[in-house]
Structure 1
């Protein structure tokens, strides 16, 4: 065999032993910079190099400061079209490009910062501040702004962030992109750009379907159920953004009553007669639902409640009280974890009384109380077990904080808006969900319009604003 034949045979042998390029290193993914320079895809890599390079080209064209908004948006639309057909893994490559190659210019920032530190006069400081602000605007910011321009662009970005938020918290690769989107959304979805609309039975069917789809507190079971919630003694309001015109960002359901509601059951009773609006003195916010996961971190609630109160007072000047009828979603989980330490505060007499009612041994274990509480709806008023569970719930609502904020997420929302914990309601939500979350308990948060700032000030000091009734419950009275 001649030299050429030997070389050919040896080369073919090596090729046969080598795995195909798309299978080699199946569990490894090369750094993005290497993949962009490569010819073939390797292993678990979602997109071949030529696709990555095309995406990078379109993103750079969209971010180009020299092109018009229209031209930049055209390139953004090409990326959006690709994204719509891409798999989850392929989409993550786009996120990586945006995170790794479109960040701020570190050298430009450092130069602007140095110039700011050298500035001495107010005029120099003002100019240096302008330069620093411009330096902090990244190419990523510009490309995301270009995505928002074409039709469907805002929806695209909101959905993209929802995908980011669905990733495990331990995955920090896309933190910069998430932070950038949250910052932009906080500006784009400022209350100054939102419209408050009343939703009624006469609203378009497509919009009513959104209410059914997004209701997060009390599931809407049927069209009859929805009609009841939009009856003459009810109001439903939502915030809308002009770039998402047919979809509420958040909506609140209100019942107009002559008393503070203690149970959700009559409010959801489709056969109940409407309340006489001439006698209505109280507005009960019984459901508030955020509809867009991608807008997490962008606060609408405070502004929504404020605007709704103003709108209701304009229509019903006789309204005196504004309160919620709210779930306590964190109660059971908290009691399961912290209950034994909580019950350690009881004296021997109380342990003996509760143990006797549970037919167990003192000291009481919280697991025994929780098992018994699955039948809490049958407990009569003033019984030992009912008082014990109410005391636990009052401790949770009136005292439990984390980083000076209420531990319960619903309490955190309402107290952050200036409400106070007003009243605990036994058997307020007897549904399966209500029993699973809080043994059927519900709570009223009261919006005292004259004391909202006072309550916020208390909360800023790490003190939860509560009524005298709740304070009494905490003391076991």
Structure 2
């Protein structure tokens, strides 16, 4: 990662702190992760504290799997909430609700590991290290659920540090530094970028790419969105990705299609940036290209086939026998290229997808994560596109179907309120009709 001017200053302070620690009172110092963390929590000097934090950051990357797990168990067991101190603070505040007792209670509720994480964050590279720490712990939570309290504390701090006020949106183009362009190829999660020529096509004049960045991670995109400038509502993704497709003059386009949105940092899982990014990109494109009248996604339905395969009986208006037949036909090799099979599955599949998106819910929210995301941002479920993505991933996730979520500038907030407050899936009449017909 390139050094910023601020990081150079922080490193110089840490160097001074290292000299101070080395000229200390002669006591031997711990060089273990746990020992360094204990020292950091008791250290009052800014320079020496930054030196310790920098040492912790460097050591983190050298730890093996077991050592990292041991470090998180230390955070869980030794740097958690002191129950006796908390009970005492609760008792004092319940008897006398003074500001001083409230402050003591507030301090007792917070685990010391949160202060430790704040101090680590001061080090050069501290933010990146903490994001990497959470990436590690998130990937191990299913196996080690007892570490969930540490994860919650770390996520709590990252939510504050990565709020919208700190983020910068940048347009990515072919002149963007290669270190960032390489990250796009690495992080693309929806439609794989197959090398530099593919990336070049996605950054040409009739395409746009925007990403959020954080000042502490200047070369690390947090999330990015890819946009195609087209005429009319796109119904399939392969033409948008075709390297040989005709290029369109951006001034002739009337529609911006958001065809890929990729979160880049696993350590920031559960921290949403996409809603802000889409709205800002819509605003910027509206200024740059006033000829654009429509803003829509061309989105996957990643949960559909998982849901369909879990159905053992009837689904929507289809009998158990018809559902079984559809699933059997979809299991045939290259079924989408067989006209006879396509004729049999098209109507029931479109019906099942519409039903799934409109009616299948958990906790009153759509099962499909992409649907939850766009509806929560104020989009309208506009259209279901038959065989819109015939890639291996598209076929395995959603039987090749794609969805347009339409962002109507005048209705975004109204749709958002209907979804949040009324739990309403705002959908076009055509999608609603598909859910009712067979």
TM, length-normalised to structure 1: 0.80
Instruction: Write out per-residue CA displacement over residues 49-95 of structure 1, whole angstroms, 9 at most, x where no aligned residue.
Output: x999944332112112x513432222223333333322100121111
Q: 1:280 aligns with which of 250, 253, 268?
A: 253
> Which residue matches 1:117?
94
For 1:83 and 1:280, locate their aligned partners in 2 and report how far apart those are by CA, in whole Å: 49
- 1:387 matched to 2:329? The reply is no
For 1:291 and 1:101, locate their aligned partners in 2 and report how far apart those are by CA, in whole Å: 32
Q: Could you say what secondary structure the match of 2:60 adopts?
A: helix
Aligned residues: 410
For 1:317 and 1:131, locate their aligned partners in 2 and report how far apart those are by CA, in whole Å: 56
For 2:312 and 2:290, locate their aligned partners in 1 and report how far apart those are by CA, in whole Å: 45
For 2:271 and 2:324, locate their aligned partners in 1 and report how far apart those are by CA, in whole Å: 43
For 2:239 and 2:304, locate their aligned partners in 1 and report how far apart those are by CA, in whole Å: 23
- Which one has the largest radius of gyration? 1
- 1:142 matched to 2:132? The reply is no
> Which residue matches 1:376?
336
Q: Could you say what secondary structure the match of 1:469 adopts?
A: helix
* Runs (4+) off by over 6 Å: 50-53
Higher relative contact order, structure no. (Cα contacts within 8 Å, ≥ 6 residues apart): 2
Q: Could you say what secondary structure the match of 1:266 adopts?
A: helix
For 1:409 and 1:63, locate their aligned partners in 2 and report how far apart those are by CA, in whole Å: 40
Instruction: Write out per-residue CA displacement over residues 408-460 of structure 1, whole angstroms, 9 at most, x where no aligned residue.
Output: 11112111211121101111111121111112111111112222233233323
For 1:150 and 1:52, locate their aligned partners in 2 and report how far apart those are by CA, in whole Å: 19
Shift of 1:406: 1.2
Q: Which runs of 5+ in 2 are unaligned?
A: 1-27
Q: 1:454 aligns with which of 400, 409, 414?
A: 414
> Which residue matches 1:21?
none
- 1:214 matched to 2:187? The reply is yes
For 1:157 and 1:70, locate their aligned partners in 2 and report how far apart those are by CA, in whole Å: 20
CA pair 452-377 structure 1, distance change in 2 beyond 3 A: farther
Q: Which runs of 5+ in 1 are unaligned?
A: 1-49, 355-362
For 2:298 and 2:319, locate their aligned partners in 1 and report how far apart those are by CA, in whole Å: 33
Shift of 1:366: 4.7
Is the contact made by 2:329 and 2:335 (CA closer than 8 Å) also made in structure 1? no
Paired residues for 1:80-119 under 5 Å: 80-119=57-96
- 1:75 matched to 2:67? The reply is no
> Which stretch shifts more, 175-184 or 271-280?
271-280
CA pair 436-364 structure 1, distance change in 2 beyond 3 A: closer
Is the contact made by 2:326 and 2:345 (CA closer than 8 Å) also made in structure 1? no
> Which residue matches 1:60?
38
Q: 1:250 aligns with which of 223, 232, 242?
A: 223
> Which residue matches 2:386?
426
> Which residue matches 1:47?
none
- 1:467 matched to 2:434? The reply is no
> Which stretch shifts more, 390-399 or 370-379?
370-379
TM, length-normalised to structure 2: 0.87
> Which stretch shifts more, 171-180 or 215-224?
171-180
Q: 1:327 aligns with which of 295, 300, 305?
A: 300
- 1:202 matched to 2:175? The reply is yes
Q: Could you say what secondary structure the match of 1:287 adopts?
A: strand
For 1:476 and 1:377, locate their aligned partners in 2 and report how far apart those are by CA, in whole Å: 25
What is the root-mean-square deviation of aligned Cα atoms in Å? Answer: 2.5
Q: 1:232 aligns with which of 205, 212, 220?
A: 205
Q: Could you say what secondary structure the match of 2:170 adopts?
A: strand
CA pair 364-222 structure 1, distance change in 2 beyond 3 A: closer
> Which residue matches 1:442?
402
